[in-house]
Structure 1
């Protein structure tokens, strides 16, 4: 597959860098939304106490942002090594540091939504508010990513929403099961 750059003043290296930031940003935001939401609704299935939900959520935010940044750095570093070995010019090589930073920032930004959605409403509304906010945000990120990439926006949004819903239902179900088994905080 080749990327054809029309005469827009954008070099292949600049385009690769933009696509790298976009990929890292979309993946980071989606992972921030889904993984943090899954953790907090799982804990909310066990307890209505805000403290354990907040602690678990913050741990997921910090651990996830670091993990995403590290994963992007390692992945793009491997790609960069291969590009250099194939003789691609230095200004066209993607920066692993840029990908890592974009992924970490996007993860942090995405993680804010489920944290706010689960912590701000009263206890009985936490889980439903989080489900709705997360699924709407995932629909939006899926749609935007597909629109930017000139892909089918509806299919992309549905795919992301279905995956996010599966994660939320699974972790909330486990939380409810643990609660019914007598696990408490």
Structure 2
């Protein structure tokens, strides 16, 4: 019977961007709503502020992810181009480098040299990219994927506290938004951990704690300015 293993490292790129986007959508929008509500704004002003936060945040997340991951991608391509030139100009030295890497990982010198020879004959750049530079297909930067994942999940996360604004009266808005947002964050942490194969309770507690802190500080600022006004 063939033995198969399921790994989750291929999910790292989009999962990181998705969790970041959804978490930021919930926390930033809920915090904005709580801050405006604490300052004494009416329901219409609170809703407008929340919608504006959703649009601005989604665009900011998409742009930020695209720019940052593109920078990573540019660096990876530059390193691979440099390695390609080294392979063409100094193949023996590159073979020695790869052999030394495998010796350092526990292979004897003869076997390490054979492995390096066969891998370089099959895909020299790929072998050096993985072993020398730490660049693989799994970890390769994907700017568009990261940008779309962040923007979409931010929007989904931001919609959740906005729905509370639509159905709950202003008098109960503070408790309703903060309480529901903490529940949303706990669920997000649990789902992300489950998807990535990590401990669920630890992830949920971590996300909830930092979300609660952000909302409390923003509500405090809003209340301070509301009283000052």
| 2:14 aligned to which of 7, 13, 21 | 21
Residue 156 of structure 1, aligned match among 188, 198, 203: 203
Contact 1:119/1:126, CA 8 A, preserved across alignment: no
Q: Which residue of 2 aligns with 1:46?
A: 39
Query: What's the CA shift for 1:117?
Result: 1.3
- 1:83-110 Cα distance to aligned partner (Å, 9 max, x none): 2233376x93432111101110000000
Unaligned runs of 5+ in 2: 81-124, 127-135
From 64, 68, 82, the counterpart of 1:71: 64
Q: CA deviation at 1:146?
A: 1.8
Instruction: State the SS of the aligned residue for 1:86.
Output: helix
Q: Please give the residue correspondences for 1:121-136 in structure 2 after superposition, counting only pairs within 5 Å.
A: 121-136=168-183
Normalized against structure 2, the TM-score is what?
0.68
TM-score normalised by the chain length of structure 1: 0.84
In structure 2, distance between residues paired with 1:95 and 1:70: 13
- Distance in 1 of aligned mates of 2:226 and 2:142: 46
Deviation of residue 35 (structure 1)?
0.3
Alignment match, 1:32: 25
Structure of higher RCO (CA pairs closer than 8 Å, 6+ residues apart): 2
CA root-mean-square deviation: 2.4
The residue correspondences of 1:93-172 to structure 2 (distance < 5 A) are 93-172=140-219
Tell me by how many angstroms 1:156 deviates: 1.3
Query: Is residue 44–residue 53 contact of structure 1 (8 Å, CA) maintained in 2?
Result: yes
Superposed CA deviations along residues 148-171 of structure 1, whole A, max 9, x for unmatched, are: 222222121111111111111111
Structure 1's consecutive aligned runs of 4 or more residues displaced over 4 angstroms after TM superposition are 6-10
More off after superposition, 149-158 vs 105-114:
149-158
Tell me the number of residue pairs that the alignment of Structure 1 and Structure 2 aligns: 172
Residues of 2 paired with 1:74 and 1:156: CA distance?
27
